[in-house]
Structure 1
């Protein structure tokens, strides 16, 4: 087998066996004998390299491994082999490759505790970002000529106008589901006419704004995080600072303002479309004429239900925009961070919106708008 690594295990007299390696011990030739060398048994006193024609780091590693496994002495090494073996000796670790892993009943609570403990860093980061946002807004109030109206109008289009079809379809289907399921349950008590009350109040007060906020978080909040995060990776944000443009004024404020104000319009639009969907079901299933259903909404739904939805909408929009821009500005390192921060922006925004909705429900009940 000319050109391949070879070996010969001979007796070395009273000192023990001698393992004589021969031929080129290179990464391209050592495969022929690697498995056999690993399976050698018995005491070996010496590893003889005098017949090795060429050697590289892999060959030197094999010689070191044989010497370590059999407590053998390396002899006959060339100057190159000595240098490589000297660099590799002592580098072979005996410890486990994988760290010990706690059992699942300990690992899961520990991980949850770490996340809760580290949440304080995220909270402080959001508060710091919100403070920087207020400072930038104050600077724009003092210097209104620096405000980027075209960027704001562009974000109005992206956040609001472009979202009308998907939010309209979602709201229409939600209205259909609420009316259909509500009518089925109310028919058991002979109160199917109260479906009008159910659809009107739950859409104007809760689901219209809440589902719109969730949709905007998944659509626009993720876009904010991905856009700003990509700009950070490509150093466009640093370039803006270098030429004297504040990223908070140019990137963050237009997006947050657009998200805040467009949520009012989108929330109202969602509620109206959901009521239309309920009216369609009322006309087809309950025998309530379409226009009678809509006129009945004005009688049974108190005006403060509309105001509850309109008050919550800008707050939800602020939360969604803040989460998207904050996580976008926190991107650093590599492109994987963009995906991670985009996911975090959507999840944190939806979580915050649902928690705030619960607080709003308790608050408006306490003030008599329940």
Structure 2
């Protein structure tokens, strides 16, 4: 006698045949228990699954039947699906053809030659990208030179807007970051210098570290993550919507309209942000030195002025425009490379941030070597 296993499908077992009747679709499959069906069928030696009584079956139902067949085969048995109409049989075979294989072979192990080939491909790709970036840099510099000759080409409104986005809106996070870095330097420096009775030298530690390196470097890293990614996302979105192609169709230069204002805004505002970071870092260091070591603000200021060369500040400010140029060029270039899908936009935005930060650190290392060689 048929046993109802769901409101829409009934099951009966007789003469080694497991018979399903009713409707087997996605609304029913989710409420079926294959383990209970298998237990009932295998308990009576079922070898045939009769679906002639199924009035309706969809891809979910076909998958359920094939899943029963697979489960029985896994347990060492076998079952044949019979009674399907021509349409049902075609659907079952189509689903069977698209099922994932039970045993997915492991990927072949790469030989040393394969690793060498992969390294060569990545090296060649990095070389091509480097050439493209240098070409894009040259195009941007040439466009800026043309604007210097013909100032009317400068998009002043766009420049002011990006100065606000890149500079003014970034002041709180940059100031807070630098203040906390100054606090950490003073706290850790005092803990080490106290062992030698040289607590007063914490002023020199803070001043040189922040003015020469950390102030502008960490500011550039924050700007790369904040503004560089924004450049890539904005230009990439326009590329996806084919707005850049429309500009070229109208005879407008995307580099002049989109790239130059962003790069110039960064080159103008990053030194200002670096100055704010330096001041905030010194304030944080002075505050922690006062709390931890008893170095009063007056003593801190006196030692800062007398023992800190102005070139420490100058070195940091010299780096700022170069860092800004790197961040702006990479951010805009990656935006121009975005394809027609959202996945490309996300990938290029991530690449922009990582590459910008990496190149900023590399440039900072080169500057450090250069200034060490020239004795500054």
TM range (shorter): 0.7 to 0.9
Q: Which residue of 2 aligns with 1:217?
A: 224
- Listed as ranges, the gaps of 5+ residues in structure 2 are 1-19, 25-48
**Alpha-carbon spacing, 1:3–1:53, altered in 2? closer, same or farther (3 Å):** farther
- Listed as ranges, the gaps of 5+ residues in structure 1 are 6-18, 66-87
Distance 1:92 1:215 in 2: 48
Distance 1:115 1:277 in 2: 44
Q: Which residue of 2 aligns with 1:274?
A: 281
Distance 1:131 1:98 in 2: 49
Q: Is the 8 Å Cα contact of residues 196 and 293 (structure 1) preserved in structure 2?
A: yes
Q: Which residue of 1 aligns with 2:33?
A: none
Distance 2:330 2:202 in 1: 37
Deviation at 1:116, TM superposition (A): 3.1
Q: Is the 8 Å Cα contact of residues 4 and 30 (structure 1) preserved in structure 2?
A: no
**Alpha-carbon spacing, 1:210–1:92, altered in 2? closer, same or farther (3 Å):** closer
Which 10-residue stretch deviates more, 284-293 or 201-210?
A: 284-293
| 2:162 counterpart (144, 155, 171) | 155
Q: Which residue of 1 aligns with 2:327?
A: 320
Q: Which residue of 1 aligns with 2:350?
A: 343
String of CA shifts for 1:287-334, please: whole Å, max 9, x gaps: 111132123211111111111111111111111111111111110120
> How many matched pairs?
329
SS at match of 1:351: helix
SS at match of 2:252: coil
Deviation at 1:102, TM superposition (A): 2.2
> What TM-score, normalized to structure 1?
0.77
SS at match of 1:102: coil
String of CA shifts for 1:225-281, please: whole Å, max 9, x gaps: 111111111111112222222110111001011111211111111111101111101
Distance 2:202 2:174 in 1: 23
Q: Is the 8 Å Cα contact of residues 25 and 58 (structure 1) preserved in structure 2?
A: no
SS at match of 1:129: helix
SS at match of 2:295: coil
Distance 1:34 1:264 in 2: 67
Counterparts of residues 245-264 of structure 1 (less than 5 Å):
245-264=252-271
> What TM-score, normalized to structure 2?
0.76
Counterparts of residues 226-305 of structure 1 (less than 5 Å):
226-305=233-312
**Alpha-carbon spacing, 1:294–1:25, altered in 2? closer, same or farther (3 Å):** same
Distance 2:132 2:319 in 1: 24
Q: Which residue of 1 aligns with 2:336?
A: 329
Distance 1:36 1:119 in 2: 51
| 2:184 counterpart (177, 187, 195) | 177
Q: Is the 8 Å Cα contact of residues 63 and 92 (structure 2) preserved in structure 1?
A: no
Distance 1:270 1:32 in 2: 63
Q: Is the 8 Å Cα contact of residues 25 and 56 (structure 1) preserved in structure 2?
A: no
**Alpha-carbon spacing, 1:119–1:35, altered in 2? closer, same or farther (3 Å):** closer
Q: Which residue of 2 aligns with 1:75?
A: none
String of CA shifts for 1:75-127, please: whole Å, max 9, x gaps: xxxxxxxxxxxxx9xx9999x86673326999877755543342112111211
Counterparts of residues 126-137 of structure 1 (less than 5 Å):
126-137=133-144
Distance 1:167 1:279 in 2: 18
